[in-house]
Amino acid sequence: MTITNRIFGEQTPQSKIKELNHIIDELRNAMTYVIDANQKISEALSNTEYDNHYQAYGQYGFQQLMGNGGKYDSSIYDIIGNLRNEIKEIEEQLKNELNK
């Protein structure tokens, strides 16, 4: 059993990289929906009695997702960065195994 089989089980490193890239693409697409939803809600509530409350509290979830919340919040960008790091680690493991 190779080290990559121990790490990935039946899944090959290449298929894991493909899966992670697919997740990154899906997250990028989702970001568009988050931005659009925030904008539509803001526009719908503009000049209503609910606008201030939404701006103060409701919009924060969208801000968190897009990385504009508190510094300790995890955003979609953070998740994409973590997935990219995971891909780099897999590629490094593959390179190391090939060099053995």
Give the pLDDT confidence of 22-59 residue by residue, as tens digits.
Answer: 999 999 999 999 999 999 999 999 999 999 999 988 88
Ramachandran region, residue 47 (left: φ > 0; alpha: ψ -120 to 50; beta: rest)? left
C-alpha span between 85 and 64 (Å, rounded): 21
Q: Evaluate whether 4 touches 100 at the Cβ level (below 8 Å).
A: no
pLDDT at residue 79, rounded to an integer: 92
Whether the predicted pLDDT of 4 surpasses 90: no
C-alpha span between 59 and 53 (Å, rounded): 9
Structure tokens at 97: 């195994």
pLDDT at residue 8, rounded to an integer: 57
How many residues can be counted in the chain?
A: 100
C-alpha span between 31 and 37 (Å, rounded): 10
Q: Evaluate whether 20 touches 83 at the Cβ level (below 8 Å).
A: yes
> For the whole model, what pTM was predicted?
0.77
Average pLDDT, the chain: 87
Whether the predicted pLDDT of 2 surpasses 50: no
Structure tokens at 37: 């939803």
